[in-house]
Amino acid sequence: MLPNFIIFGAPKCGTTSLYNYLQQHPQIFLPLKKEPNYFITRDVVKSTAQDYAALFDPVRDEKAVGEASIHYLSSLEAPALIKKKLPDVRLIAILRDPAERIHSEYTFLKSLGSEKSPDLWYAVEKEDRHLRYHGGGWAPRYVRKSLYFEQLRRYYDLFDPKQIKIYLYEDIRDNPKDVVRSAFEFLDVDQTFEVQATYKFNETRVIRNQALDALLTKFGPANSLRKLLKPDPFKPAPEGPSFEAFTYKLYYAIRDFSRVRPQPLSSKDRARLIEIVREDVLQLQALLDRDLSAWLKV
Give the pLDDT confidence of 82-108 residue by residue, as tens digits: 999 999 999 999 999 999 999 998 988
Q: How far apart are CA 142 and CA 145, in angstroms?
A: 6
Where exactly are the structural domains of the chain? Answer: 5-97+142-199+265-296, 206-260
Report the percentage of the chain scoring pLDDT > 70: 79
Tell me the whole-structure pTM to 2 decimals: 0.80
Class of domain 5-97+142-199+265-296: alpha beta
Q: How far apart are CA 101 and CA 207, in angstroms?
A: 19
Q: Which residues in the chain belong to E strands, given as ranges?
A: 5-9, 28-29, 64-68, 90-95, 164-168, 206-207, 259-260
Rounded to the nearest integer, the mean pLDDT of the chain is: 85
Please list the residues that pair with 165 across neighbouring strands.
Answer: 92
Residue 220: its pLDDT value, please?
53
Please compute the mean of the pLDDT values over residues 143-161 and round it to a whole number.
Answer: 95
Report the percentage of the chain scoring pLDDT > 90: 54
Residue 117: its pLDDT value, please?
86
Q: How far apart are CA 263 and CA 286, in angstroms?
A: 32
Coil/strand/helix, residue 279: helix
Please list the residues that pair with 8 across neighbouring strands.
Answer: 93
Residues 6+ apart with CB under 8 A from 147: 98, 277, 280
**272 has pLDDT over 70:** yes
**172 has pLDDT over 60:** yes
Among 25-29, 43-47, 281-285, 289-293, the range scoring the smallest mean pLDDT is 43-47
Burial class (CB in 10 A: 0-12, 13-18, 19+), 92: buried
